[in-house]
Structure 1
Amino acid sequence: MSEPRPIRRALLSVSDKEGLVDLGRALASRGVELLSTGGTAHTLRQAGLEVIDVAEVTGFPEMMDGRVKTLHPRVHGGLLALRDNDAHVAAMTEHGIGEIDLLVVNLYPFEATVAKGADYDTCIENIDIGGPAMIRAAAKNHAFVTVVVDVQDYEKLLGDMDQHDGATCAKFRKKLSQIAYARTAAYDAAVSTWMAEAIGVETPRRRAVAGMLAQTMRYGENPHQKAAFYKDGSTRPGVATARQLQGKELSYNNINDTDAAFELVAEFDPANGPACAIIKHANPCGVARGETLTEAYSRAFDCDRTSAFGGIVALNQTLDVETAKVISEIFTEVVIAPQIDPAAAEIFARKKNLRLLETGGLPDPRAVATTIRQVSGGYLVQDKDTGHISAEDLKVVTKRAPTDEEIKDLLFAWTVAKHVKSNAIVYVKDAATVGVGAGQMSRVDSTRIAARKAQDMAADLGLDTPLTQGSVVASDAFFPFPDGLLTAAEAGATAVIQPGGSMRDDKVIAAADEAGIAMVFTGMRHFRH
């Protein structure tokens, strides 16, 4: 790839005017002629810079409300011509096409327009046509043309020019070309995804996924795996949009676990009282409500103190000083909350390694969203599990109906079970988990493990009876046999919530009746793999 001559002519056309004037001045001071369009030209002229309108170059005015301005051979010829090809050079001379050595473009703010909830026609008008066309042309011809699509690369551009006597090096142009194609790909992905949703296409023939690099990580789940974190531009409150107040960079596992914790605690409306979720390896090891946030944390902690060590703590209300003091008594990886009292943040300042995140709000657990999981050769795409059950939805299937207090705990257990890896079993008593069994191949094993952990925790707390005595239990899917239910009954559970739908439901119901257990069916399953 031959090195081009120094940049002498640049076309600037940007929606985001940040840094534009400084860039224009820097280029002009280096002897670069500036071409521009519309608002960009106006901004540069207001700063006292000499600018040539693209309309002067093309011989055509901007028309159709700005829809047509750069789609012209004198623009695209200047970007696409191979400078070392005699036929291309001859064509440029014959048709009066001048070389464009540098293209600086950022696109109409389509993503931001959609995020604001604009109507269909407004979103359509914010689809950039000329910008992507020029970017792709310049990026293709990166042997001779430098293309910049991100404000963050302005200083890098000027630095590279200074190092190469006003030109740019091939390596830098290639890197910028890749960034440019990724930008147009992400832009098209945003447009196609929005349009599919807007016109009601649930499974589009082609689905594009894009993200912006937020963090290059030291490693992934394990030290031998490379990893990075990308943001998709969503405004949903959570780990991706949070402000980190202190602590080291979040690791791959931190981000995964923190997301799980915050999505779970968001299920509990703060208007109904404080709630806390403690997560370890993407599974809840304690979830509770309380009269205060401190009480909610303490009750969640008492479900499984061993697993809570080094865990992720998520809160549904403003983190206060007293709660911060209690949390800081053990090693915790991450604390995330919608708001954080500055005095509470000071408490954590002594814990230099603790990551403290403030989100500004809670995600809506019922908002429509999409989850994507990669498999070999493809992607699995599905709606986010926004399933919700109220007391009115429950079907009592046993002779004994649950009491009002049992129903409250059953619904609490059901909500937590939705966020536990399947097979999931959750014991709850007085709006606090007392035993969690997660990720077992057998449902009866999950039931036994949860009960055993509750026994161990009771011993640690110096209690004479298991924590599960007098509890209720939730199962994310149906009990295929009575054995899991009977194990829960042996652990002291008095009521069960499960989807129902097994071929042996009648046997499971009969076993519940014989054990004196109340049982309700939801008709909804919450598998989480």
Structure 2
Amino acid sequence: MKRAFISVYNKNKKLLNFSFFLKKKKYQIISTGGTFKFLKKNGLCPINISDITSFPEILDGRIKSIHPYIYAGILANRSIEKHIKLIDSYNIKLIDIVLIDCYPFYEMINNKSIEKKFLLEFIDIGGLSLIRAAAKNFHYVTAIIDSNDSKLVTKEIDSDGHTSLILRKKLAGKVFSFTSYYDSIISQYFFKEEKFPKIINLCYKKKMNLKYGENPHQKASFYIDNFNEKGAMSNFNQIHGKKISFNNIRDIDIAWKIVNQFSDPTCCIIKHSTPCGVASGKNIIEAFKNAYYSDSISSFGGVVAFNTVISCELAMKINHLFLEVIIAPFYEKGCIEILKLKKNLIIININNFSSDEIEYVKVDGGFLVQESDYLLNKKNDNYKIVTKKNFSNQEIKSLFFAQKVVKFVKSNAIVVARGTQTLGISGGQTNRIWAARQAINRALEKNKKELVLVSDAFFPFKDIIDEIANSKRIYAILQPGGSIRDYESIEACNHYGIAMAFTGKRYFKH
């Protein structure tokens, strides 16, 4: 007679259906304490593990399945004669199916009702060991770690009398993916105070397959950090629109991070992972108009994010434009129906703030790890005036508005702004003077009044100050400082009557 070992945390109707199926197919079922009681209560006749091991569960259930009578029945290689003779000599019966549902350590981490000392009781030992043993011996044993796979097992046993080697191998692979994931969560829990441990175990779970990668010929999927359930991108909800792409995800992430730095109603429009227009306003419609006006050409086909509710009035204005993605924390009643008139428009709802403290960048053969600059400098507004002329209150407000944008622009990065509206953004240039010229020229096309300029890094030469002075419209500069020629830039600012301050903090984005 064939045997199945079943020990699960979640005891439900799906488990009962599978267990009754095994009974129908003449399988004996072995189970542990809670599972044994559940199955027996519901009309099955499982074998209690203690009746096989002749040893009771001890240490409050920490020891119940760790026994050679169980492991030998799972691990015996049935093509090796001495294995079979050996287990026969001990009257050990073979086990053909192992279904395990491990203690939910991950779910308990954020459960405030569970004291930390009791949390350790949710680290599964026996279940993981059993399912790993079954997966190792997949040539002969069916290992089930995902209860949904019981349907596949049922189908094959029903039609062929046994599971296929192809299915057993696939299920074994799922087991080792799960056990690696499970241990990674535990590892991250113990190392959560250590940013750069000697060994990093990442724990990500597929959220969705994407339309394509950076280009249509590249396949792509999106994985989320299961340990950090508060992450904004792990919890977004697509309400409407075409299938989301790799580039959409990148742009959504950046747009959402930018708008959530501001308390006033703010809009950000992203194109190719770069902000092309950002503005705050008295209301969200004003913010949207100003952000779009910042660069209406680049905004075509862009991703737009708002940090507050979208009204029906705003939705009607949005529908006059071609945009790829709309992101907001809330939508006014009736607003979604208006936006849905655009068949392919991707409508995204996000309620969580960005929370990544660590960033990972993949390189060939490894990855780089660093602290997130977004969180480190979210509230930084320190500066030192280095010129004879000081900032006005309005300039201070505008400069630090622009600084929150510049750190999301690829280096070399320059942002020119007026009030709480960007007017010229340039980044990704290989030298700073080109970036400055582009940002200034774009700003002057839109506005001839008093402007401010922010740079993500120091000015290597005073030629940038000369360029700024030639605009005859920029009267305040914010930059990190730190160049060996800082004194030249300071002297030039004093000569032209421009106010400048150093922050001492660089914002490179590669």
Task: Tell me, yes or no, whether TM beats 0.5.
Answer: yes
Q: What percentage of aligned pairs have identical amino acids?
A: 38
* Secondary structure in 2 matching 1:494: strand
Match of 1:461 in 2: none
Match of 1:406 in 2: 395
Query: Does the alignment pair 1:419 with 2:408?
Result: yes
Is the alpha carbon distance of 1:475 and 1:81 closer, same or farther for their aligned partners in structure 2, counting shifts above 3 Å? same
Match of 1:462 in 2: none
Match of 1:179 in 2: 174
- Cα distance in 2 for partners of 1:83, 1:390 equals 65
- Cα distance in 2 for partners of 1:374, 1:525 equals 23
Among 189, 195, 209, the alignment partner of 2:190 is 195
Structure 1 residue 237: deviation in Å? 4.4
Among 8, 18, 25, the alignment partner of 1:14 is 8
Asked if structure 1 preserves the Cα contact closer than 8 Å seen for 2:30 and 2:47, the reply is: yes
Query: Does the alignment pair 1:448 with 2:437?
Result: yes
- Cα distance in 2 for partners of 1:415, 1:170 equals 56
- Cα distance in 2 for partners of 1:449, 1:436 equals 8
TM-score normalized by the length of structure 1: 0.90
Match of 1:500 in 2: 481
Is the alpha carbon distance of 1:510 and 1:216 closer, same or farther for their aligned partners in structure 2, counting shifts above 3 Å? same
Among 13, 25, 32, the alignment partner of 2:27 is 32
* Secondary structure in 2 matching 1:312: strand
CA deviations on 1:470-518 (whole Å, 9 max, x unpaired) are 1211111111112223323433222111111111111111112222111
Structure 1 residue 120: deviation in Å? 4.2
* Secondary structure in 1 matching 2:175: helix
- Cα distance in 2 for partners of 1:381, 1:119 equals 32
Asked if structure 2 preserves the Cα contact closer than 8 Å seen for 1:334 and 1:356, the reply is: yes
Asked if structure 1 preserves the Cα contact closer than 8 Å seen for 2:224 and 2:233, the reply is: no
Is the alpha carbon distance of 1:195 and 1:163 closer, same or farther for their aligned partners in structure 2, counting shifts above 3 Å? same
Asked if structure 1 preserves the Cα contact closer than 8 Å seen for 2:417 and 2:443, the reply is: no
Number of aligned positions between the proteins: 505
- My pick for the range that moved more, 64-73 or 477-486, is 477-486
Match of 1:170 in 2: 165
- Superposition pairs of residues 250-261 of structure 1, within 5 angstroms: 250-261=244-255
CA deviations on 1:332-388 (whole Å, 9 max, x unpaired) are 11111122234111111111211111123333xxx5621111112211111111232
Is the alpha carbon distance of 1:42 and 1:348 closer, same or farther for their aligned partners in structure 2, counting shifts above 3 Å? farther
Is the alpha carbon distance of 1:141 and 1:262 closer, same or farther for their aligned partners in structure 2, counting shifts above 3 Å? same
- Superposition pairs of residues 350-365 of structure 1, within 5 angstroms: 350-363=341-354
* Secondary structure in 2 matching 1:305: coil
Query: Does the alignment pair 1:231 with 2:211?
Result: no
Match of 2:461 in 1: 481
Match of 1:333 in 2: 324
What letter matches 1:243 in structure 2?
A: N
Among 90, 93, 110, the alignment partner of 1:95 is 90
Asked if structure 1 preserves the Cα contact closer than 8 Å seen for 2:211 and 2:243, the reply is: no
- Cα distance in 2 for partners of 1:40, 1:291 equals 60
- Cα distance in 1 for partners of 2:82, 2:380 equals 77
- Cα distance in 1 for partners of 2:44, 2:145 equals 21
Is the alpha carbon distance of 1:82 and 1:268 closer, same or farther for their aligned partners in structure 2, counting shifts above 3 Å? same
Match of 2:506 in 1: 525
Structure 1 residue 36: deviation in Å? 1.8
Match of 2:367 in 1: 379
What letter matches 2:402 in structure 1?
A: A
Asked if structure 2 preserves the Cα contact closer than 8 Å seen for 1:237 and 1:360, the reply is: no
What letter matches 2:68 in structure 1?
A: P
Structure 1 residue 389: deviation in Å? 6.6
Is the alpha carbon distance of 1:205 and 1:192 closer, same or farther for their aligned partners in structure 2, counting shifts above 3 Å? same
- Cα distance in 1 for partners of 2:187, 2:325 equals 36
Query: Does the alignment pair 1:318 with 2:309?
Result: yes
Query: Does the alignment pair 1:299 with 2:290?
Result: yes
Match of 2:260 in 1: 266
* Secondary structure in 2 matching 1:382: strand
Structure 2 portions without partners, runs of 5+ = none
- Cα distance in 2 for partners of 1:205, 1:236 equals 25
Structure 1 residue 53: deviation in Å? 2.1
Match of 1:3 in 2: none
Match of 1:242 in 2: 236
CA deviations on 1:427-456 (whole Å, 9 max, x unpaired) are 121211111111111111111122233344
What letter matches 1:186 in structure 2?
A: Y
Is the alpha carbon distance of 1:361 and 1:219 closer, same or farther for their aligned partners in structure 2, counting shifts above 3 Å? closer
* Secondary structure in 2 matching 1:96: coil
- Cα distance in 2 for partners of 1:280, 1:391 equals 26
Is the alpha carbon distance of 1:40 and 1:508 closer, same or farther for their aligned partners in structure 2, counting shifts above 3 Å? farther
Match of 2:128 in 1: 132
Asked if structure 1 preserves the Cα contact closer than 8 Å seen for 2:356 and 2:372, the reply is: yes
Asked if structure 1 preserves the Cα contact closer than 8 Å seen for 2:300 and 2:323, the reply is: yes
* Secondary structure in 2 matching 1:302: helix
Match of 1:393 in 2: 382
Is the alpha carbon distance of 1:164 and 1:263 closer, same or farther for their aligned partners in structure 2, counting shifts above 3 Å? farther
- Cα distance in 2 for partners of 1:84, 1:241 equals 48
Structure 1 residue 218: deviation in Å? 4.3
- My pick for the range that moved more, 405-414 or 91-100, is 91-100
- My pick for the range that moved more, 171-180 or 22-31, is 22-31
- Cα distance in 2 for partners of 1:268, 1:78 equals 62
- Superposition pairs of residues 40-79 of structure 1, within 5 angstroms: 40-79=35-74
What letter matches 1:424 in structure 2?
A: A
- Cα distance in 2 for partners of 1:298, 1:43 equals 62
- Cα distance in 1 for partners of 2:5, 2:244 equals 40
- Cα distance in 2 for partners of 1:262, 1:505 equals 35
Is the alpha carbon distance of 1:515 and 1:57 closer, same or farther for their aligned partners in structure 2, counting shifts above 3 Å? farther
Asked if structure 2 preserves the Cα contact closer than 8 Å seen for 1:324 and 1:348, the reply is: yes
Match of 1:220 in 2: 213
Asked if structure 2 preserves the Cα contact closer than 8 Å seen for 1:237 and 1:359, the reply is: no
- Cα distance in 1 for partners of 2:378, 2:73 equals 62
Asked if structure 1 preserves the Cα contact closer than 8 Å seen for 2:291 and 2:421, the reply is: yes
CA deviations on 1:230-275 (whole Å, 9 max, x unpaired) are 1121222423311111112211111111111111111113xxx211
- My pick for the range that moved more, 23-32 or 500-509, is 23-32
Match of 2:271 in 1: 280
CA deviations on 1:170-229 (whole Å, 9 max, x unpaired) are 1111111111111111111222222122xx433222111131122233431112323221
Match of 1:205 in 2: 198
